[in-house]
Structure 1
Amino acid sequence: MTDHLFNLHGDVLAAMRRGPKPFAKLAFVLSEAAEPADIDLGHFRERIIAAGPGDELIALWHRTLTAWDLAEQSDWSDAPPRTDARRTDTYDRLGFGADLRKALDEAVPVFKEPGATVISKEFTSWYSRDTAAARAFYWNSYEQTLRRKGWSDAAVSSLDEASHAVVERLSDPTRAEAYGARGLVVGYVQSGKTANFTGVTAKAIDAGYRLVIILGGTLNLLRSQTQRRLDMELIGRENILRGADPADTDALVGVDYQDDEDWPAKFVSHGGRPSTLGAFDIERLTTRDDDYKSLLNGIRTLEFEKQARTQPLYDPANLHHAAARVMVVKKNADVLEKLLRDLKKIGPILSEIPALIIDDESDQASVNTTDPKKWENGKVARKAINGQITQLLSLLPRAQYVGYTATPFANVFVDPGDEEDIFPRDFLISLPRPAGYMGVQDFHDLEGEGAAEETHVRGIYDDTGDRLQEAMDAFVLTGALKLYRAARGVPEEPFRHHTMLVHESVQQREHASLALRINSMWHRSAYTGQEGHARLATLLTTDFQCFVDDGLPTPTSYDDLKPYVSRARQLINSGGEPVIIVNGATERDYEQAELDFDRTPHVWKILVGGTKLSRGFTIEGLTVTYYRRTTQQADTLMQMGRWFGFRPGYRDLVRLYIGREVPMGKKKTVDLYEAFEAICRDEETFRSQLTRYAALVDGKPQVTPAQIPPLVSQHLSWLKPAARNKMFNAELVEIRSPGQWVEPTAYPTSAADLRHNTEVWRPVLEGLAPSPVTLRCRAHGRDDSYQAVLGTLDHSALVGLLRDLRWSTPTQFSPHLESLVHAGSSIDEWLVIVPQQTSKRSIEASILASRPLTLAGRTRRRGDFFGAISEPKHRGVALRVAGALQDSQDPLVESLARPRRGVLVLYPLVEEEPRLSSDGAVDPGKVVMAFSLVAPTSPDGERRSLVRFRAIDSSRSNFAVIDREEDSA
């Protein structure tokens, strides 16, 4: 039966490519073959209200409204994307009335999740929405593929916007003057960065890029994963077969996916060879199994046919008829050398080829890490891979470089003064946390709620034993729970693979020993006997049944699960042993069939390994992680977070067994869970800063990529941003943070400096109220209360006090102090809050004859820097008093809130339990007078830039990096 209403609305919306227009007028023009009722908007509203699941008309409007909600680049609306105002503007332009708006809002709620954050130089716009829509063969195909995979409209539209933001900042491929943009895209560990760069590739080749080189990891395993993903979702069957008849078995000999169970059904089909459909073909220069070896047909492989022979390839008359070439290349010196050697043979045509280089895991191997001290005659010496990438860029003057990583700091601190290197001089884009992603917030209670750690984290302490048997029991039990759910209608695809990761060391001999131990433990675990079933039954009751996702079936008793335990044990033990060791010195060591998640129907195994499992490689079905390896490298530690990712149908089953007391050095232990949290806080701070400073002021960026390093260095001072004899010419002078929590951590270590700082705070201590009060704030789902001692201080007195403090790294706080110095016209006074601990273990002492105050205990995380100092429960009151929250629902706190009042939260803290004098006083040289502050919100806050930089050498203000004298290093 023909759905006339759906057909009409499809035609009308298709005519609105540039944005919403009066619906009724267009419907009237396009309604010649439609029923009169189809034009009636009242009939449309009735259809919305009565629609059931799967209604195509509602799905059409869901896609369209969501795309309009999210559109960042829209010349039809001044309303910001992802807001009610944008949706209202949409309805106004469509001419919809209140009743229809209400019905549509209920069917398609406004999508308000944050989008990508873009830090960019000013650029010339060439890639408009019209330009993108005019040539979108491969993007449209990729978009349809994502929808078939079950991607939501919001997810597809978000990817569309984020990938568009990348491509529009590349150089116009038809531009006469060659220019190579450099950019960086920052995602989350295991968060789907491949989907983004596949979208970028689709849009870029549609726009005219004709050579795409994807640097896909350092192992064949990783490279082939990326190749298969591109072939399956973008390049498609027809390009893989190169015109061969899929029914001709002889023609299929040698096709690289003949043994792949997903071929050809799950590989995208374009409905014919693209070149016969008015588009252009993609020629693969690498295959799933073969990395780049040499141009198989000699240099002719990169000879492009020109329709206008007298014009260069980048001329539109030639470009849009030429086939694209795509290769996925391992970051290996030998492989890249072959590629460079072949490119050098090709000659002048290279200068005409619009090329795109995508560097996956761009902070691995790509960054130059040579010691500047060893450079000769001032000439940059490069590591092999970095040198080869820079050669690629020089051979291809029209090449655009886009790095992808989840740990961006190595890329951010590349010397931007090195014109040949990969510093993201043109743009840095931070991708949003995707829906359904399990990340740091799911394993670390950054805001103090406690639910994440309780649900997913199982600490390994000295007094708990190593808990390895429990972790293995959890692996068997969760496998059984997946089978139980699959039998009750939960889609089986997420349960195809079921894995456990055990990571204790990078030493191969230790991997072998650990694997032997796990195998022995497995055979002693009695999973077919009473003892094993009793352990699993107890674990189900005491752990997994306590944290069930209400939307997923879970057995009420172990007896219901017992048959599935047997099947899970069989799957894990297939092949005779449950363990796969993943390590090796050569590529051949990784060529294990059981590690190929694409070609192996079911991988239900315990993976034991080290570094090779820590980056890029996706461990499908990972449910239980056992992690006890230490490292002092922040990005290395972060990349080992393989437990981050998507867990559809089993996120409540995910467990992380992690060392809380791991030996490291002489008589020193490390809490790996806290170490991860510290790094995750740095990552989140970096992203939140990018978001704050991304907003344009008077149409210009507040921060450019070249200004990010000095900004980030305030938080990661242990990273050296440039060569020993160079410095960033952009100095961060001021950070305005009205209504934002500011928490310096760079306090001095010497007793003399600590005593000096304590003396500076004497007037504040003397002015504190004699009795504590109870402060409470109910906001954003939290209900926090605590006792505190209060005081007040006028603004000029606080500024004078802060100017007199000593710091281990003064530049950490100086930009905030500069802001306070110039804020006298908007701040009158400060409320001082000194939180008081009420636990039995709290230490109470007098400081410089003050009333007794409790001392907080904190430790320095790295060098002179503390980790987090404040407690999340203290923040709500401060934010409310400073005007950043609307209501605390507490009369006392409301009485303290007033315009032009800021809040300073003072934390007298000690690093070890102090000895008190007989009268209960503490040595002021043992106390760190730490603090946090929130400046009052300001009416003009949105009209001024939040950051201010100055050029250290004003005569070279256009240079991001300048040389400095050796004696000033």
Structure 2
Amino acid sequence: MKKTETLRITLHTSALAGMDSRPKNLLRALSYQAEDEGPEADSLATEEDFRETLAAAHPTDQLVELWRKQLTQWDYLENPPWTDSESRTDERRATTLALLGLSDDTQRLLDLLVPVPRASGPVVISETFTPWYTPQSQQGRSWYWPAYRRLLSEQKKWPETAIASLDSASDRVVERLADPTSETAYQSKGLVVGYVQSGKTANFTGVIAKAVDAGYRLVIVLGGTLNLLRAQTQRRLDMELVGRENILRGASEYESDYADDPAWPQGRFLSHGGLPSALGGFDIVRMTTRDNDYKSLLQGIIALEFDKQEPALPLHDPRNLHRSQARLMVVKKNSQVLTKLVKDLGKIKTPLTEIPVLIIDDESDEASVNTSNPNRPDSERTAINKKISELLKILPRAQYVGYTATPFANVFIDPSDTEDIFPKDFIVSLPRPEGYMGVQNFHDLDSPIPREERTFANSNEKAHVRDILLDSEEDDTALQSAMDMFVLTAAMKLYREDNGLGDRHFQHHTMLIHESVRTADHRELRGRVHKMWWSAGYTGASGHARLRELFDNDVAPVSRVRSDGFPTPASYDDLSPYIGAAAIRIGGDDQPIIVVNGDKDIENGEADFDKRPLWKILIGGQKLARGFTVEGLTVTYYRRRTNNASTLMQMGRWFGFRKGYRDLVRLYLGRDETMGTKDIDLYEAFEAICRDEESFRGQLEQYSVLIDGEPQVTPERVPPLVSQHLSWLKPASANKMYNTRLVEIHSPGKWEEPTAYPSGVAALRHNTALWTPVLESLPDSPDAFSYNFGDGDTHHRFNALAGRLDAEEFLDLVQALKWDAPGRFGPHLAYLKEITRLSQVDDWTVIAPQHISKNNRCSVGASSRAFSWFGRRRRRGDAFGAISEPKHRPAALRIAGALSHGGNDTVEGLVAERRGVVCLYPVVEPAHRAGIEATGTVEPGQVVMAFTFVAPASARSSDGKVLRFTTIDSGDTAR
């Protein structure tokens, strides 16, 4: 770097460092710094120099990166004293740049090079709390958070926006814990909801760092139910938070429990530059190590003692607290281990009432929740839940924070059970991180593009998902294809390392086969896969022929449109030199397969990603299904069944960050086209989970907005927000769902789609008799409907008959309908009654979509008119899946006032402020379709008159609240 550039960076670095947490006049700060740098610095301390440098700069230049870091920090600050504007907004950025005293031209250049981050922040549902975690309270006491932040930035190369997002989200948690120095003990309980394999560990590492800096002196991390998970969490905290000096505590490098870990000699463990206590900080004493869970030993008990500098004062007094060491233990969720811990805590001399404790419960919906039915008179708490309750009982200053990606079991806990772990104080929903591949990246949710027009470029399903018929005769065709894909993608990674990404960029490359949790099945599968591998002929003509076909038909066309600029070979001939190297990397040690299931007879190696690079096929079940991160996972072959959403979602090891190989990820997933009574379509199940999850997160976000400074929803009122899109796929296992009942859903301007229609002939005939007059009142000719979002999309077009019902007519009709599960429509009906009573809806436009072709048309019963019918099938149980089609929705939402002008005269002519929309779909199930083809008629008892509705966007409750519900609460004596 030239001397002038170096000096410019020095000036700006020093100027920004002097601004602390608020922006100040930049030219004044630069001039002050230039005084110590000599005459040459004066010309660099001007706005003209800054502006000219920015005009010629690249977004990755050092000066731009310096300003990106500082501007992003100011963008993310919550409630700074120097502005009232919201974080991550143009208003916040404008205020910041104005305080810096910069001209409009310079401001525009900075905004161009460092755009305002638009990523969503965390969503918080919370009781009111007393603010204590302020910049003033942190002044001069931060040690572990700055060190962790520095590691993320300098070593892990996190972008500043990701670090700022983590900073903000962890603040939202820590500020809701009790003040550790308070004279009065308070025990808060909260829940943090992330995505599967999306960075929850990073968040709770940040929370721990800030909590110990603030004064929490005992941190207990409940690290899963398996040794594998506990050890993985221990290593991560030791590596990124505790640091080398706290691990060694004066011992030699070779005495570390990480001496055999490649990251230890490579310098990837955090270093503080010395023992923190010798540098003005405080030490963290580990009570557990990577290989050793908590053990009840004499030295362990002594190590739990807390020294007081002022013996006459309690430990939580600041004069003692900020001079004492912190203790950290990562404990497996095992009742015997937790029993030892509870017993030892009872023996120490330091009064437990004085110790500020933070309990982090990773995967808090597993094992921690009491699954004993409290309605049974002989009910006792489950073992681990009982031990957690005991910990909370003996530690009155303990704060409990659960972390999970599947929160439903936690929010279903009885709020009045004070000994349980219900998150009574707060729920924090973390934003979906940038670069994360989740359920949405494997599905085409509500895509307006017709299935026949979907391509590798516009369809996530076509790009990443390959079908396996769940009950097909097992000829291993799909499994062989998956293994071939594993080798091809391995070769693609080697090709990319040779063409710009650098040697060993891809440290791990794995394939996961998950068919069953039974170890006997794993034994059989290992033998089968082992035989297939050695018969595959990857270096011979037959192997190359298969791989060439798979490359030409799958890998190449997907990567051409989804590689994000990463190198892609033009032909298989360019890739073929890497095939042999890939096969050797996987099976060169004669062990291409690792079984991970705890059965020592068939386990043939460790899936320890910390000790060595792994390019292997993993076969496993439960040990690989929750919490454990399968590094480098590229190909997944998944056929395991389950019947609740939480368990199924945790199986999604293919979710996560896939930098450099997103286009190569493939999911071979069990499908069942016939949907027999015992079978499930796993792809459909994951889509339903995605809808449940997004609905839950979306509603949390909607209800997190304060009304007159008060929360709309507090944690004990959250359970009714949980939805269920498939009747057979419960949000959580049945023994975790006891305590909720939804009374009313306010849905102004929202597309609502009932699904639980009756199946009995009498009930179907009854409903058809109610809807047939409405159908027959519609005009003879359809109109052309469409909606244009302005992005060039032309797919939201359809023909439909349109009519009208006044508000009372529609309400009378839906009140008279029969349902197999009346409770599912009841909350919607309550809302429709309310908006009709309050005159918030004048009428309803009825839209009956019609097919363009003359096929799939019939008359109902004795009716002389024929209408389009829709072929749908029920899922397991009484409910259908989605009945509507995505292309019908925008026009209906526009008519109801939920969308802006969409460019269609027919639609615009129907728009009115207090108008709702009903879309009518006569549904014929498979069993009755043959009769239609023969007669052109369907009997009233053989058609399901399905409908959707959109209430007027203006039909909001007068108090601004959007829900009315009840929670089944054992403390409610009136129920």
Whether 1:572 aligns to 2:592 is: no
Equivalent of residue 861 in structure 1, options 875, 884, 891:
875
1:855: Cα distance to partner?
A: 2.2
Whether 1:468 aligns to 2:466 is: no
Distance 1:570 1:673 in 2: 33
Compared CA separation, residues 962 and 199, structure 1 to 2 (3 A): same
Equivalent residue, structure 2, for 1:247: none
Equivalent of residue 226 in structure 1, options 205, 221, 233:
233
Equivalent of residue 182 in structure 2, options 175, 179, 184:
175
Whether 1:894 aligns to 2:908 is: yes
Equivalent residue, structure 2, for 1:563: 577
Give a deviation string over 1:915-962, Cα, whole Å, max 9, x none.
65886432223332222222233397897122234689xxxxxx6743
Equivalent residue, structure 1, for 2:712: 702
Distance 1:327 1:808 in 2: 51
Distance 1:641 1:593 in 2: 23
Is the 8 Å Cα contact of residues 415 and 721 (structure 1) preserved in structure 2? no
Equivalent of residue 107 in structure 1, options 113, 121, 128:
113
Equivalent of residue 13 in structure 1, options 16, 27, 31:
16
Equivalent of residue 748 in structure 2, options 730, 734, 738:
738
Is the 8 Å Cα contact of residues 459 and 657 (structure 1) preserved in structure 2? yes
Distance 1:814 1:621 in 2: 47
Distance 1:268 1:938 in 2: 55
Distance 1:304 1:637 in 2: 43
Aligned 1:546-557 pairs, distance under 5 A: 546-548=557-559, 549-557=563-571
Is the 8 Å Cα contact of residues 714 and 812 (structure 1) preserved in structure 2? no
Give a deviation string over 1:443-484, Cα, whole Å, max 9, x none.
111122551011001112349964111111101110001000
Equivalent residue, structure 2, for 1:410: 409
Identical residues among aligned pairs (%): 55
Equivalent residue, structure 1, for 2:466: 458
Is the 8 Å Cα contact of residues 514 and 621 (structure 2) preserved in structure 1? yes
1:721: Cα distance to partner?
A: 9.6
Equivalent of residue 583 in structure 1, options 597, 601, 608:
597
Equivalent residue, structure 1, for 2:428: 429
Q: Secondary structure at the match of 1:581?
A: strand
Aligned 1:155-554 pairs, distance under 5 A: 155-244=162-251, 251-264=252-265, 265-295=267-297, 297-347=299-349, 349-372=351-374, 374-376=376-378, 381-448=380-447, 449=449, 450=454, 451-461=459-469, 462=472, 466-492=477-503, 495-548=506-559, 549-554=563-568
TM-score by length of 2: 0.91
1:540: Cα distance to partner?
A: 0.7
Compared CA separation, residues 531 and 817, structure 1 to 2 (3 A): same
Distance 1:54 1:951 in 2: 52
Gaps of 5+ in 2: none
Distance 1:521 1:127 in 2: 59
Distance 2:882 2:553 in 1: 32
1:621: Cα distance to partner?
A: 0.8
Compared CA separation, residues 933 and 33, structure 1 to 2 (3 A): farther
Equivalent of residue 76 in structure 2, options 67, 70, 77:
70
Q: Which amino acid aligns with 1:544?
A: V
Aligned 1:534-683 pairs, distance under 5 A: 534-548=545-559, 549-584=563-598, 593-600=605-612, 602-661=613-672, 668-683=678-693
Is the 8 Å Cα contact of residues 738 and 941 (structure 1) preserved in structure 2? no
Distance 2:250 2:542 in 1: 60
Q: Which amino acid aligns with 2:12?
A: H
Equivalent of residue 775 in structure 2, options 759, 765, 768:
765
Whether 1:922 aligns to 2:938 is: yes
1:795: Cα distance to partner?
A: 2.6
TM-score by length of 1: 0.92
Give a deviation string over 1:258-305, Cα, whole Å, max 9, x none.
111111410111111111121101011111111111246242212212
Q: Which amino acid aligns with 1:552?
A: F
Distance 1:488 1:390 in 2: 55
Distance 1:88 1:946 in 2: 34
Equivalent residue, structure 2, for 1:791: 803
1:763: Cα distance to partner?
A: 4.0
Distance 1:589 1:964 in 2: 58
Compared CA separation, residues 335 and 485, structure 1 to 2 (3 A): same
Compared CA separation, residues 353 and 780, structure 1 to 2 (3 A): farther
Is the 8 Å Cα contact of residues 30 and 46 (structure 2) preserved in structure 1? no
Is the 8 Å Cα contact of residues 744 and 813 (structure 1) preserved in structure 2? yes
Aligned 1:820-835 pairs, distance under 5 A: 820-823=832-835, 824-835=838-849
1:485: Cα distance to partner?
A: 0.3
Is the 8 Å Cα contact of residues 848 and 924 (structure 1) preserved in structure 2? no
What is the count of residue pairs matched by the alignment? 945
Compared CA separation, residues 93 and 219, structure 1 to 2 (3 A): same
Compared CA separation, residues 919 and 561, structure 1 to 2 (3 A): closer
Q: Which amino acid aligns with 2:518?
A: Q
1:615: Cα distance to partner?
A: 0.8
Equivalent of residue 805 in structure 1, options 797, 812, 817:
817
Distance 2:359 2:302 in 1: 21
Whether 1:938 aligns to 2:964 is: no
Gaps of 5+ in 1: 245-250, 953-958
Equivalent residue, structure 2, for 1:33: 36
Q: Which amino acid aligns with 2:464?
A: H
Q: Secondary structure at the match of 2:500?
A: coil
Distance 1:390 1:716 in 2: 34
Give a deviation string over 1:617-659, Cα, whole Å, max 9, x none.
1111111111111112221111111111111101100111112
1:24: Cα distance to partner?
A: 4.5
Distance 1:951 1:300 in 2: 46
Compared CA separation, residues 741 and 85, structure 1 to 2 (3 A): farther
Distance 2:115 2:959 in 1: 31
Is the 8 Å Cα contact of residues 582 and 609 (structure 1) preserved in structure 2? yes
Compared CA separation, residues 559 and 145, structure 1 to 2 (3 A): same
Is the 8 Å Cα contact of residues 308 and 317 (structure 1) preserved in structure 2? yes
Q: Which amino acid aligns with 2:800?
A: A
Give a deviation string over 1:135-171, Cα, whole Å, max 9, x none.
3211111111111212111111111111110111111
Q: Secondary structure at the match of 1:778?
A: coil
Deviation larger for 96-105 or 216-225? 96-105
Deviation larger for 423-432 or 737-746? 737-746
Q: Secondary structure at the match of 1:89?
A: helix
Distance 1:516 1:662 in 2: 29
CA RMSD in angstroms comes to: 2.8
Compared CA separation, residues 12 and 745, structure 1 to 2 (3 A): farther
Q: Which amino acid aligns with 1:928?
A: V
Q: Secondary structure at the match of 2:787?
A: strand
1:175: Cα distance to partner?
A: 1.2
Q: Which amino acid aligns with 1:86?
A: R
Whether 1:87 aligns to 2:93 is: yes
1:102: Cα distance to partner?
A: 1.1
1:348: Cα distance to partner?
A: 5.2
Q: Secondary structure at the match of 2:778?
A: coil
Give a deviation string over 1:726-780, Cα, whole Å, max 9, x none.
975x865443322222222233333333333223324422321211233222227
Deviation larger for 393-402 or 588-597? 588-597
Q: Which amino acid aligns with 1:403?
A: G
Q: Which amino acid aligns with 1:691?
A: E
Give a deviation string over 1:204-234, Cα, whole Å, max 9, x none.
1111111111111111111111111111111
1:816: Cα distance to partner?
A: 3.3
Compared CA separation, residues 699 and 592, structure 1 to 2 (3 A): farther
Is the 8 Å Cα contact of residues 764 and 944 (structure 2) preserved in structure 1? yes
Q: Which amino acid aligns with 2:901?
A: D
Distance 1:726 1:417 in 2: 15
Is the 8 Å Cα contact of residues 120 and 431 (structure 2) preserved in structure 1? yes
Whether 1:816 aligns to 2:828 is: yes
Q: Secondary structure at the match of 1:10?
A: helix
Give a deviation string over 1:853-895, Cα, whole Å, max 9, x none.
2222333335333322222222121122223222323333333
